[in-house]
Structure 1
Amino acid sequence: MASSPGPDIILPLSSQKHDPAWKHCHMIKRADRIHLRCMYCHKLFSGGGIHRIKEHLACQKGNASSCPKVSMEVRRAMQQSLDGVVMRRRKKQKLAEEVKKLNPVKPADTADGHSEAEMGLQLVAMPISVEPEAVQLEKREEEVVARTHERKRRRAAKNLSPPLKENGFARANLGGTVDGDQVCLAIGRFLYEAEVPLDAVNSAHFQPMIDAIAAAGPSFKAPSYHDLRGWVLKNSVEEMKATVDFYKETWTRTGCSILADEWTTEADQTLINFMVYCPEGVMFLKSVDASQMVTSADALYELLKLVVEEVGVGNVLQVVTSNTETHALAGKRLTETFPSMFWTPCASRCVDAMLEDIVKLEPASIILEHARSITRFVYNHAEVLNMARRFTDGKELVRPGRSPSDTTFMTLKAMAGLKENLSSMVGSEEWKNSSCSKNEAAAAMTELICSPTFWSSVDSLVQLTDPLVQVLRMVDSIKRPAMGYIYRGLHRAKEVMRRVLKMKKDYMPYWNIIDWRWHKELPRPLQAAGFFLNPQFFYRIKGEVPNEIMTGVLDCIERLVPEMKSQDKINKELTAYKNATGDFGRKMAIRARHTLLPGEWWSTYGGGCPNLARLAIRILSQTCSARGCERSRIPFEQMHSQRKNHLEHQRLSDLIYVRYNLRLQQRHLLKNRQTDPLSVDAISGVEDWTVERTGLFTREDDESNWVELIQPTSSSEAAHTDEDDALFSAEIDDEEYDGCNKEEEEEDDDDDVKQEMYGFVKEEE
């Protein structure tokens, strides 16, 4: 039997790959061959190099097929890059022809014996009307001599920049080359002076913007203030509406979810950002000031009703909101008005609340406080932070997440994975000879890092909570809908807790937290039906399908398929699915249960059961979370201000529409963005881990300076890559389904289990 070719390996890109198309593809190693894969449609290219990818992204007919999912922005940037290649080739040819018209000049030796060619001097063709050429060449010789005498001084001052003149350095260097550092300094000056947050460079549109400017050449004139407020914004709105129209075309097949992301501003306004989710993407619809509505179920119902009617009743499977009593009442009334849809509480907020409750339990709270004391000390001393980054190969201890609880447990897991590195650091001669290791705070941190009981407790807490953290990241996934996975994810979290703690009296406090948070909004038929219709999990159920799951399936059939004839057909088709007959029983279908997305599996193998397949695809295409993307620096509060000109309010609404939708489109790329736990851009989520407090580990006359820091490297970002595939494919044993809701377990008589797990906690008490 032929051996499997093995999994695809994503190869790192070297710093030499400067073509803009490299930002939009992956280099894949498969069976000892190198391929390029488009980041948007995932098409593999075996030949043609990066130029073929660029043609693919530019949707240029010819050697490569067009990418169906690339954004208009990227498409335009790739086309400009292709056009730039042609323009540069023509300019180079024209330059060579004009240089031939000049009198040939033999390169003169410079003062140190090097020719002008060796010094990197380039002759630039002058217009024919400019005379005489000899004067120009003489000036260039003088420049070369001056450059030779001041070479050392220029190297030392490489990063210093002279005051800007009226036209900047770019206009002054027409026809020549510009040092890359000077370009970076020019970008920095703009960002600093204009007060643009530095994490703006993480935008997926930053590099394409640079590429477009470079392709346009030095004659490009930047858009004016009025251009950006006028035709540029107008065209951007039209472009975004075209993308949204593409999403809408898929709603008939997959259905959609209305997401109501509710949040409170610094001015204590309650705003709701309405979005529409489908597998093709999430679109921002509008923002509403709901300050006077969230306390009234009737007012909230009227608001939700208007949004449902705007999207289209036939397209909507569910409305996802916060899970307060007011929202529940409004949701119940909404489903009475529209009996073909569900109201669903936001799963990410629910799981977040579970993790917050666990943090409040005494064992976890003590462990976390000791872990924070380590990171606070490390991140407030430049010498120690530099040392930690060297010993961890650039990996960060603190990992900013999407919520405080996400940050907490991601950071704890990262620390557990780096415990050997930290132990090596505090045991090294470098640490012992460091001035930072001589005080009481450093000694306390060293003792903590060298404590086996501390790390045992950390490992146990990570084991207990990691499945819940995975559920949190799963429901916020951008790559695939979570509806078919969340029921199994929560069950798996409970099973892991039972196996780790063994004794019922130990794991029941954690189970109670999960059950109370999850079941207080029962029923959740969509999640139960998602589990049932996901072939990866359904065919591993031992015995009869639990009643809770089957009830959820029947609820979905009655509500989402109102026609009785279709309901009867689905009921018959369920038998074929349960028994895996017809196409469901093909060997291909059995293998594909674990490789295809559930919706794709039904689309491929559900042809014999068209009514059930249509329902399954619509259910499995939904999300469970109403959480939107980052809202910082989007002027929602300004838009909802009462003191605003009507026309300007319209313009601001369009600006927010474009800005927020662009962020939603690029969420999957933001997972790989560069971050620094010390940055003010991240401080709101990590202050508990990086800001020192009085008491333990307080600094004593430390003279640390940020200039001394080793800045985070690209390797420190590796841990932040999208882990969706691992989240959705983690295996669990068959027995977990067999014992799905068992509460009576045999208790382990060994009372040392908990002491071994939380020995550190008891020792501190």
Structure 2
Amino acid sequence: MRCRSGLWCVTKMASSEAEAEAAAGPEVVLPISAQKHDPAWKHCMMVRSAGRVRLKCIYCQKHFLGGGIHRFKEHLARRPGNACCCLNVPREVQETMLNSLNAVAAKKKRKQSLADDIRRITHPAATSAPQVDAVVAEMESPIHMIPLNEVLDLGSMPLEERPPETREMKGVTSNKRKKKMAVRHASTPLAHQNQQPLLSTRPAPQTQPFNQAVMALEPATTQGRHFDPTSSNKDQVYMAIGKFLYDAGVPLEAVNSVYFQPMLEAVASAGWRPEAFSYHDFRGCILKKSLEEVTAQLEFYKGSWTRTGCTLLADEWTTDKGRTLINLSVYCPEGTMFLKSVNATDIVVSPDALYELLKNAVEEVGEKNVIQVITNNSEIHAVAGRRLGETFPTLFWSPCTFQCIDEMLEGFSKVRAINEIICNAKAITGFIYNNALAFNLMKRHLHGKDLLVPAETRAAMNFVTLKNMYNLKEALQSMVSSDEWMHHLLPKKPGVIEVSNLVGSLQFWSSCAAVVRITEPLMHLLKLVSSNKRPSMGYVYAGLYQAKAAIKKELVRKSDYMTYWDIIDWRWDKHVPRPLHLAGFFLNPLFFDGVRGDVSNEIFSGMLDCIERLVSDVKIQDKIQKELNIYRSEAAGDFRRQMAIRARRTLPPAEWWYTYGGACPNLTRLAVRILSQTCSAKGYDRRHISFEEIHDQRMNLFERQRMHHLTFVQYNLRLQHR
């Protein structure tokens, strides 16, 4: 009977929906809120017709009047019971919806299992009637046992109980509303009967049955772990929370939130209950301990500087208030270390002032450790950098490679042929993203994907979006030929014909493909130099060579490809030659093997420049010169091993030299120091870090020092996980 009844309900619901759909008038497509995160929202449209809002499947056009997004998800998953199955849903979408439904079911099962465990502990079978009465009496006390079905959701429990008369003044409510209020009223165990919040009291342990229940549960739920509420364990938790606040850039006033104590109650479920923290703890002793830990980690970085060398980075940027700041950091393969932030508003206009700033930073790090200094690419920085190289003859100044490549891409986008393609692509994306119906159609035909792809710079975003559009060409063409586009958009919206013609144009897409092939090597190189996953010094010169080769292969005629070659050469050789990048190419076994017998004079001269500048002892210079011949000819040592040949493609260049460069110890030391450097001074994520506040002259000395420490901890914690 139950199955028949359930089938009758589903059939009746489907028939009522079909009747409503047939009687519905013209549909109005509604935008879907960005706050709706369920994956099923990407595969439906929200429409209004006949005064009611419905969900419409983008695959079978089925309307849903009730059941919410969960019922629609069952429709996509083709799970019978609550909704009819979609016959047109793609296989991958169906599998995604099934996985989502299974995850929800598993989560409910885990909650129920834990609730059953707690029920067995707090209400054993042998409990006598007087004991049950005692439990009931205890639950009527000001602070009582949390209901079993609420024990897992500590953060969402209200801290104060609403007076009954407040709800009565709101008039008549529906049955659902009354039930919801009744449940909320019953699940307020953390409040006193006189409406005082729990945060205002610290009852004795014997008045906290919840803590006793959790402690009793500890042997079953914390296998293999031991929690001792000692000072050492408490400090570990305090430091963990403090690091979270500093790394995420959360204002320290967040500890005054009413939700902070419930968070600690969740921590207490691990076996002990920490004391409440104060705002002054995090800006005082915990900040001090975090500063000590970060400093200790940075001392570990410093220990590698003598072996691998380091790069001083001067990241110049402008704040929202127009102030120019320079963040000074030190890069080495172990990690990047933030030193300090300098207000450079008056410094960047003077080469002398900028030189003094960089000179002091080099002296602070240690001249013998610094291989290169990377700054902005402006003429003032070039003047200061050349002067810095004269003062310190054992290091190089280099302009930021990331900025150079981005300027190359910006130059490409200004070439007439490419600019026209970018403008046409912007016309397509601009129309779609500014029209609700077109946007929903795009989501339907692209299966939830987006056309616009975020990137680190404007030029990079243009080209990565163009590539994404080309990859979705068939889906876009299907969209502009669909009935919805032809009947609802084409007759009504201006600009639709232009967009339709562009999407259907073979010439537009062939031009897009050519632009993607021309810019793909530079886009790959831009991503490489902006990442700190591996030092990029050994890859930049080869990346530019490959970019030129791709352009020449695509355009063939010299008059065509030289336009782009000139842009690359002008941006690359604008200020000074770059011997470090040439030496990085020479010492990278992956690339050097291809040109071993035909090394250009430019590359070998760059290698000799590095030997003369980075090695001050002339006797060691002569030894390196002899070892260079061994490396070039593979005449001795482990260079000729098959393992070494295979490892050229698998090991990072510096690690390859450590492993197989035993026959050339002096050259190996130099190669490791060169190949361990980065090529970009681009700063990492600076959001929610108060760089500008540390330069506020209105703060007193102690407050400014605290802000310096806070910024130092925040940015270095963020850089450690870059």
Aligned partners of 1:654 and 1:566: how far apart in 2? 43
Aligned partners of 2:455 and 2:118: how far apart in 1? 52
Partner of 1:567: 621
1:102 aligns with 2:127: yes
Residues 235-254 of structure 1 mapped to structure 2, 5 A cutoff: 235-254=289-308
1:408 aligns with 2:462: yes
Partner of 1:646: 701
Query: Among the aligned pairs, what percent are the same residue?
Result: 49
Which of 329, 336, 353 in structure 2 is aligned with 1:282? 336
Give the counterpart letter for 1:103 in structure 2.
Answer: S
**8 Å contact kept, 2:432–2:438:** yes
Query: Secondary structure of 2:328's partner?
Result: strand
Partner of 1:397: 451
Partner of 1:429: 483
**8 Å contact kept, 2:119–2:148:** no
Which of 268, 285, 292 in structure 2 is aligned with 1:216? 268
Partner of 2:205: none
Moved more, 337-346 or 654-663: 654-663
Q: Tell me how far 1:216 sits from its aligned partner.
A: 3.5
Q: Tell me how far 1:268 sits from its aligned partner.
A: 2.8
Give the counterpart letter for 2:672 in structure 1.
Answer: I
**8 Å contact kept, 1:570–1:612:** yes
Partner of 1:525: 579
Shift in alpha-carbon separation, 1:377–1:94, aligned structure 2, 3 A: closer
**8 Å contact kept, 1:431–1:437:** no
Aligned partners of 2:436 and 2:181: how far apart in 1? 25
Which of 319, 323, 331 in structure 1 is aligned with 2:385? 331
Partner of 1:555: 609
Aligned partners of 1:446 and 1:153: how far apart in 2? 49
Aligned partners of 2:548 and 2:513: how far apart in 1? 17
Partner of 2:663: 608
Deviations 1:134-177 (A, max 9, x none): xx99x999xxxxxxx999669999999999987499x9996899
Aligned partners of 1:466 and 1:398: how far apart in 2? 17
Higher relative contact order (CA 8 A, sep 6+): 1
Shift in alpha-carbon separation, 1:166–1:621, aligned structure 2, 3 A: farther
Q: Tell me how far 1:359 sits from its aligned partner.
A: 1.2
| TM-score, length basis structure 2 | 0.66
Partner of 1:617: 672
Partner of 1:265: 319
Q: Tell me how far 1:532 sits from its aligned partner.
A: 0.3
**8 Å contact kept, 1:437–1:443:** no
Q: Tell me how far 1:288 sits from its aligned partner.
A: 0.6
Which of 203, 209, 231 in structure 1 is aligned with 2:285? 231
**8 Å contact kept, 2:328–2:338:** yes
Aligned partners of 2:127 and 2:420: how far apart in 1? 79
Aligned partners of 1:498 and 1:104: how far apart in 2? 90
Shift in alpha-carbon separation, 1:434–1:245, aligned structure 2, 3 A: farther
Aligned partners of 2:182 and 2:638: how far apart in 1? 68
Which of 579, 585, 588 in structure 1 is aligned with 2:633? 579
Give structure 1 stretches of 5+ with no counterpart.
1-14, 16-87, 106-122, 142-148, 178-195, 202-208, 668-765
Query: Secondary structure of 2:340's partner?
Result: strand
Residues 261-660 of structure 1 mapped to structure 2, 5 A cutoff: 261-434=315-488, 438-541=492-595, 543-581=597-635, 582-660=637-715
**8 Å contact kept, 2:490–2:497:** no
Query: Secondary structure of 2:651's partner?
Result: coil
Give the counterpart letter for 2:284 in structure 1.
Answer: G
Shift in alpha-carbon separation, 1:95–1:565, aligned structure 2, 3 A: farther
Query: Secondary structure of 1:440's partner?
Result: coil
Aligned residues: 527
Shift in alpha-carbon separation, 1:92–1:516, aligned structure 2, 3 A: same
Moved more, 213-222 or 600-609: 213-222
Shift in alpha-carbon separation, 1:300–1:160, aligned structure 2, 3 A: farther
Aligned partners of 2:148 and 2:616: how far apart in 1? 83
**8 Å contact kept, 2:489–2:496:** no
Give structure 2 stretches of 5+ with no counterpart.
1-38, 40-112, 150-172, 202-207, 215-244, 251-260
Give the counterpart letter for 1:297 in structure 2.
Answer: P
Aligned partners of 2:474 and 2:179: how far apart in 1? 41
Shift in alpha-carbon separation, 1:216–1:604, aligned structure 2, 3 A: farther
CA radius of gyration, larger in: 2
**8 Å contact kept, 1:251–1:278:** yes
Aligned partners of 2:475 and 2:665: how far apart in 1? 56
**8 Å contact kept, 2:538–2:588:** yes
Give the counterpart letter for 1:260 in structure 2.
Answer: A
Deviations 1:77-135 (A, max 9, x none): xxxxxxxxxxx99x969962763552379xxxxxxxxxxxxxxxxx99977994899xx
